């Protein structure tokens, strides 16, 4: 045991930090566009089911491993098994942290860049999404622009993580998360009060079941993982800074609730505005950087809303970025005896460099392709579609089958005695989902990613 390992200052601080990790580009950029492409309400329903039956049980498991061992992903598996295989599973999580942060920061950088462009007035006179698309192409197509904001995003992330778990991550989350929710409330009110907003609401609430294909279900499942930051030890690491008697189940429920609420609120804010302007909800990844700027440009006071929106995205990305860096830092601090500052500077710097080709994938290296994918696409695909589902599968199998049942039962009840007394069935249901449902469904996602389905 490390005598002076860091810890959260309060339970509330932990919830905000963990929700900050979960709420990210996944909620505000990706969720709306995949919901838009896959038919809206029906897809959202499937997504909610995936969150409940896979996301929630796996989240409890990940946090539980962290809280029990008080270690980073590698140290945690080492403490519980001594098995080389499981230790390498933890190590793969650290590697996934390197990879995800390297490209996440590129998009995170764009969001900061868009805040600045809004203030400079470049976003205020579009007549159509095409014009906004041209500007987007120009900005992301500029190596200087994208590399500078990639660097700024990294500098902010490192600045926070250097200050430690309580003084940096927790403290900044306590400021950023309330700001994020307030901005979202403002944008939602603006959205639903626009003329024609009801079509956007109908898109979100009236299901068209014919849109639900096997493919759509797999997308929903994969996203349930990504959005809850599961499968690479981020939640495990955050859980490792909890006290032994903090309630893991209720904390997980609160994190799931906040993450889902914020994704849905973002959906409402975005689709009411998109439909009110008569634009295409299925615009794909460009929905945020191309369709929305055109929407804002056509609104009275649109600059303010545009500023708030991109600030919201930047905050969401930053609170997720710090959790990714923290996994890497925790590993070097716990296992290799580095001091926090050195670990942040060296590995933050390294991950920044790994991200450079990702930033260049939209310009100088746009034509460098392997299997028709740019560097950015490859890193994103390997991490999000292979490593995360694999990691999630391993966590479900580990807690469901490998870790002794008696120990798991005792651990999950620690601090949650009352909950299990009141709802004795919860334990059984959780185990069933963890042992059978999650592994089977996640395996399907993996096979699909690998092209077998």
Of 64, 81, 76, 92, the C-alpha closest to 1 is: 76
Q: How far is the CB of 263 from ligand TRP (least distance, A)?
A: 8
Nearer to ligand TRP, 25 or 294 (CB): 25
Query: Under the criterion CB under 6 A, does residue 51 sit at the interface with ligand TRP?
Result: no
By CB under 6 A, what part of segment 354-393 binds ligand TRP?
A: 388
Q: Which stretch binds ligand TRP (CB under 6 A): 25-33, 113-121, 178-186, 437-445?
A: 25-33
Query: Under the criterion CB under 6 A, does residue 158 sit at the interface with ligand TRP?
Result: no
Task: Please tell me the count of residues contacting ligand TRP according to CB under 6 A.
Answer: 16
Nearer to ligand TRP, 173 or 323 (CB): 323
Inter-residue contact 124 to 295 (CB < 8 Å)? no
Query: Under the criterion CB under 6 A, does residue 234 sit at the interface with ligand TRP?
Result: yes
Nearer to ligand TRP, 177 or 279 (CB): 177
Inter-residue contact 396 to 58 (CB < 8 Å)? yes
Q: How far is the CB of 22 from ligand TRP (least distance, A)?
A: 5
Nearer to ligand TRP, 21 or 272 (CB): 21
In whole angstroms, what is the distance from residue 432 CA to residue 250 CA? Answer: 19
In whole angstroms, what is the distance from residue 229 CA to residue 219 CA? Answer: 16
Of 383, 229, 250, the C-alpha closest to 320 is: 229
Query: Under the criterion CB under 6 A, does residue 92 sit at the interface with ligand TRP?
Result: no
Nearer to ligand TRP, 325 or 416 (CB): 325
In whole angstroms, what is the distance from residue 295 CA to residue 279 CA? Answer: 8
Of 347, 331, 319, the C-alpha closest to 71 is: 331
Nearer to ligand TRP, 73 or 191 (CB): 73
Query: Under the criterion CB under 6 A, does residue 323 sit at the interface with ligand TRP?
Result: yes
Please pick, from the candidates 27, 68, 69, 157, the single residue that binds ligand TRP as defined by CB under 6 A.
27
Q: In Å, what is the CA distance from 430 to each residue of 8, 113, 159, 228, 408?
A: 27, 43, 38, 17, 11
Inter-residue contact 372 to 181 (CB < 8 Å)? no
Beta partners for residue 373, in sequence order = 370
Query: Under the criterion CB under 6 A, does residue 21 sit at the interface with ligand TRP?
Result: yes
Q: How far is the CB of 120 from ligand TRP (least distance, A)?
A: 27
Q: How far is the CB of 231 from ligand TRP (least distance, A)?
A: 6
DSSP type of residue 373 = B
Query: Under the criterion CB under 6 A, does residue 25 sit at the interface with ligand TRP?
Result: yes
Q: How far is the CB of 234 from ligand TRP (least distance, A)?
A: 4
**Any residues with CB less than 8 A from the CB of 197 and at least 6 apart, and which?**
191, 272, 273, 275, 276
Query: Under the criterion CB under 6 A, does residue 229 sit at the interface with ligand TRP?
Result: yes
Nearer to ligand TRP, 252 or 277 (CB): 252
Q: In Å, what is the CA distance from 397 to each residue of 11, 195, 390, 440, 442?
A: 28, 50, 11, 10, 11
Nearer to ligand TRP, 67 or 190 (CB): 67
Of 112, 78, 26, the C-alpha closest to 324 is: 26
Q: Which stretch binds ligand TRP (CB under 6 A): 57-65, 227-235, 349-357, 426-434?
A: 227-235
Q: Which stretch binds ligand TRP (CB under 6 A): 47-55, 207-215, 225-233, 437-445?
A: 225-233
Name the H helices within 82-170.
Answer: 84-120, 129-140, 143-162
In whole angstroms, what is the distance from residue 451 CA to residue 444 CA? Answer: 11
Nearer to ligand TRP, 235 or 399 (CB): 235
Q: Which residues bind ligand TRP (CB under 6 A)?
A: 21-22, 24-27, 100, 226-227, 229, 232, 234, 320, 323-324, 388
């Amino acid at each position: 045991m490390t005598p002076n390992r860091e810890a959260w200052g309060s339970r509330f601080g932990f919830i905000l930090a963990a929700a900050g990790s979960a709420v990210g580009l996944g909620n505000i950029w990706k969720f709306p566009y995949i919901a838009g492409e896959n038919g809206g309400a029906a897809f959202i329903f499937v997504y909610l089911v995936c969150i409940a039956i896979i996301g929630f049980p796996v989240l409890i498991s990940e946090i539980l491993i962290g809280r029990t061992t008080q270690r980073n992903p590698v140290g945690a598996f080492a403490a519980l098994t001594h098995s080389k295989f499981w230790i390498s599973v933890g190590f793969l999580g650290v590697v996934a942290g390197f990879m995800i942060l390297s490209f996440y920061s590129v998009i995170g950088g764009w969001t900061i860049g868009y805040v600045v462009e809004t203030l400079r007035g470049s976003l205020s006179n579009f007549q159509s999404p095409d014009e906004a698309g041209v500007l987007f192409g120009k900005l992301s197509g500029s190596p200087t622009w994208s590399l500078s904001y990639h660097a700024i995003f990294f500098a902010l992330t490192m600045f926070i993580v250097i200050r430690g778990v309580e003084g940096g991550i927790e403290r900044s989350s306590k400021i950023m998360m309330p700001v994020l929710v307030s901005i979202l409330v403002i944008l939602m009110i603006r959205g639903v009060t626009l003329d024609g907003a009801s079509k956007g609401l109908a898109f979100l609430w009236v299901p068209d079941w014919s849109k639900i294909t096997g493919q759509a279900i797999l997308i929903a499942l994969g996203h349930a993982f990504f959005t809850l930051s599961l499968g690479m030890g981020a939640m495990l690491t955050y859980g490792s800074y909890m006290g032994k008697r903090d309630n893991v189940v209720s904390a997980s429920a609160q994190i799931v609730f906040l993450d889902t609420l914020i994704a849905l609120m973002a959906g409402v804010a975005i689709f009411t505005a998109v439909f009110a302007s008569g634009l295409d909800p299925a615009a794909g990844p460009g929905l945020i950087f191309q369709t929305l700027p055109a929407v804002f440009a056509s609104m009275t006071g649109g600059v303010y809303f545009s500023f708030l929106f991109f600030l919201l995205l930047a905050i969401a990305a930053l609170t997720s970025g710090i959790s990714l860096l923290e996994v890497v830092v925790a590993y070097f601090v716990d296992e290799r005896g580095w001091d926090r500052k050195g670990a942040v500077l060296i590995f933050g710097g390294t991950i920044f460099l790994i991200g450079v080709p990702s930033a260049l994938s939209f310009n100088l290296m746009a034509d460098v392709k392997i299997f028709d994918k740019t560097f950015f696409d490859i890193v994103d695909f390997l991490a999000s579609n292979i490593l995360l589902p694999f990691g999630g599968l391993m966590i479900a199998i580990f807690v469901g089958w490998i870790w002794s049942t008696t120990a798991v039962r005792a651990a999950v009840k620690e601090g949650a005695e009352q909950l299990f007394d009141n709802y004795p069935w919860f334990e059984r249901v959780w185990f069933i989902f963890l042992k059978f449902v999650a592994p089977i469904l996640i395996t399907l996602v993996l096979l699909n990613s690998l092209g077998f389905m």
